[in-house]
Homo-oligomer: A and B are copies of this chain.
Amino acid sequence: MVLGIDIGGTNTKFGLVNTKGEIVYQSSLPTTDFAAPADLLKRIHQLIQELEPELNGVGIGAPNANFARGTIEYAPNLSWTGIIPVTKIASEIFNVPSRITNDANAAAVGEKLFGAAKNMDDFIVITLGTGVGAGIFANGQLITGKNGFAGELGHVTVIPDGRMHHSTGLKGSLESYASATGIVETVNEFLKMTDKTSILRELKTKPLTTKLIFEAANNGDEIAKQTLDYTAEILGLALANFALFSAPEAIILFGGVTKGSDNFFEKVKSEMEKNLIIVFRDCIPVIKSELPESDAAILGAAALVWKNNT
């Protein structure tokens, strides 16, 4: 039995995975409730202990994780700062070997082993959540790069001198527009720019979520529709740039934002096509992850323990 943990900016999902790749137990905790990763891991340990599993290892997916060093380093979307030796901490708490990789890499490994990419050698998984990340396979292998941080595609610049990212300080990065946080920021900008009536204006007293924005768009709200069109333009353009880099067989979108609306999804695809040269057009499908969101990340993280080379 292996414990797979997917640490996200908002929630941490974890599950016990057997050797057949089945998740036999899973649960989640709010990441933001824990002041340090050790606290989070101790709590998971408590919960798992009650099940008395025969644990062989712990695999962790997390933003800005470095596989080679076993660390999370300066993660813009976590409140934990600096360089954190996570595998060392996890091995001490669980008393088994532990491995860590980028949460998006874990999702990509999950897609390759159990999901939409089972028969693909070249594909890109884009995770759209609190942050934006990517896991990239080329020639059948996960790309980690020299520094172990390949696929940090949330931080590519799409709008030079564009919106400031609250924690990286970079301007106009994909994440500052296409993450859940970025989409909410766009709504607030658009609401300020006009007097148009919008259900989102009335909801402004409680925190906006992408779920509420997608609902509003599906109900015909103009500001919500404008926001999603704008987001789709930027995301589509970024996907075209990624496609030109590694010429994937498909791009797989993963995470809550992808479930919002079919209109949004179609718009992302058409915007990608608009930004491609002829030989790339109409041959790179953009698809939604086939796996339940939590499953791919947990399975991918767990797979780290079985496959030492990812």
Contacts and interface: CB of A to CB of B under 8 A. Distances in A.
A51 interface: no
A122 B147 CA distance: 10
Contacts of A146: 120-122, 247-249, 283-284
Interface string A233-267: 00001001110111111000000000000000000
Interface string A114-142: 00000011100000000000001011010
B237 A147 contact: no
Interface of A: 64, 66, 73-74, 76, 120-122, 136, 138-139, 141, 143-153, 155-160, 168, 170, 237, 240-242, 244-249, 275-280, 283-284
A248 B159 contact: no
A244 B153 contact: yes
B136 A245 contact: yes
Contacts of A283: 146-147
Q: How many copies does the complex hold?
A: 2
A169 to B, nearest CB: 9
A251 B221 CA distance: 46
Contacts of A149: 247, 279-280
Contacts of A145: 122, 138, 246-248
A139 B147 contact: no
Contact of A138 (B73, B143, B244, B278): B143
Interface of A is mostly: loop
A77 B39 CA distance: 58
A156 B243 CA distance: 9
A160 B157 contact: no
Given A143-B138, A279-B74, A283-B147, A242 B240 contact: no
A11 to B, nearest CB: 23
B245 A157 contact: no
A247 B148 CA distance: 7
7 contacts: A66-B279, A139-B143, A146-B248, A150-B246, A155-B276, A157-B275, A245-B246
A101 to B, nearest CB: 13
